[in-house]
């Protein structure tokens, strides 16, 4: 029992990890942007309810990986977003591999499936029901650009619900890269009368994925997600 408690304690995130995670979330949702000045160390200890040592460790780590820049006499500034750097890497990989969209979408699928498995295993009924709002938002959208963004928002909401920072950061990077590709596909479907029904069926595909999650049926969710992503390849 003592060993179990010790292992449980060791698995808890450290103070600086909590701060980095929270700042990364603020970058992801737009609360923080490149060029923004971070609060002072004293204010950050109050904001995150953690020690000044934890704040300094977090800032030092983010400075080392190029997200934060310490300017003498001015403070700490956001100079880069880890997700934008990852997007750049993925962009280069696509160029070097002649587009490789099939492989790119396969990569996206496996990230989403990992998130779906986590959501089914750990999310509460209330949290899963919150996805209904994202489902309705797609149905209410009209323009091609809006539909593209709402499609991504639905999938992003599932990934964010997993709570896994790696899934979230990687999916955000993938989403930034995928917008133009998805918009082109939806535009093509919309401009072709025969295929326009397919655009509307995206809502039904989202609904099937969500219903499988509500039933906590991973096998069903995997099948529907695979079918859905094939629409865009």
Domains, the chain, ordered by start: 2-80 (1.10.10.10), 84-230 (1.20.120.530)
- Out of 81-85, 135-139, 189-193, 211-215, give the one with best mean pLDDT: 211-215
Instruction: State the angle between helix axes of 52-64 and 15-28 in degrees (0 to 180), rounded to the nearest 10.
Output: 60
Question: Per-residue pLDDT tens for 165-180?
Answer: 788 878 887 877 777 6
* The pLDDT of residue 132: 94
Cβ atoms of residues 185 and 228 within 8 Å: no
Q: Is the per-residue pLDDT at 198 higher than 70?
A: no
Closest C-alpha to 157, from 124, 115, 121: 115
Which of the four pLDDT bands, split at 50, 70 and 90, describes residue 143?
A: confident
Instruction: State the angle between helix axes of 101-122 and 82-96 in degrees (0 to 180), rounded to the nearest 10.
Output: 140
Handedness of CA 98, 103, 104, 107 (dihedral sign): negative
Alpha helices in 123-164 (DSSP H): 125-129, 132-140, 144-162
* The pLDDT of residue 3: 47
Torsion, Cα 165 152 128 26, to 10 degrees, reads 40
Lowest mean pLDDT among 72-81, 85-94, 137-146: 85-94
For residue 33, count other CB atoms closer than 10 A to its CB: 10
For residue 6, count other CB atoms closer than 10 A to its CB: 10
Which of the four pLDDT bands, split at 50, 70 and 90, describes residue 4?
A: very low
pTM more than 0.75: no
Instruction: State the angle between helix axes of 41-48 and 15-28 in degrees (0 to 180), rounded to the nearest 10.
Output: 90
């Amino acid at each position: 029992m003592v060993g179990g408690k010790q292992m449980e304690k060791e698995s808890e995130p450290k103070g600086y990890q909590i701060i980095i995670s929270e700042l990364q979330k603020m970058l992801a949702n737009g609360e923080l942007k490149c060029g923004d000045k971070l609060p002072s160390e004293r204010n950050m200890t109050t904001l995150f309810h953690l020690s000044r040592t934890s704040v300094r460790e977090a800032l030092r780590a983010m400075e080392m990986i190029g997200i934060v820049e310490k300017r003498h006499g001015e403070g700490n500034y956001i100079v880069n977003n880890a997700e934008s750097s990852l997007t750049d890497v993925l962009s280069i990989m696509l160029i070097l591999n002649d587009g490789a969209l099939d492989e790119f979408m396969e990569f996206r699928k496996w990230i989403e499936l990992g998130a779906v498995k986590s959501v089914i295993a750990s999310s509460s009924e209330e949290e899963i029901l919150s996805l209904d709002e994202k489902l309705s938002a797609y149905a209410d959208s009209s323009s091609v650009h809006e539909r593209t963004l709402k499609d991504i928002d639905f999938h992003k909401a599932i990934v964010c619900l997993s709570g896994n920072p790696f899934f979230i950061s990687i999916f955000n990077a993938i989403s930034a890269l995928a917008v133009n590709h998805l918009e082109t596909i939806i535009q093509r479907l919309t401009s072709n009368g025969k295929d326009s029904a397919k655009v509307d069926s995206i809502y039904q595909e989202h609904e099937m994925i969500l219903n499988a999650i509500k039933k906590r049926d991973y096998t069903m969710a995997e099948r529907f997600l695979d079918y859905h992503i094939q629409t865009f390849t």
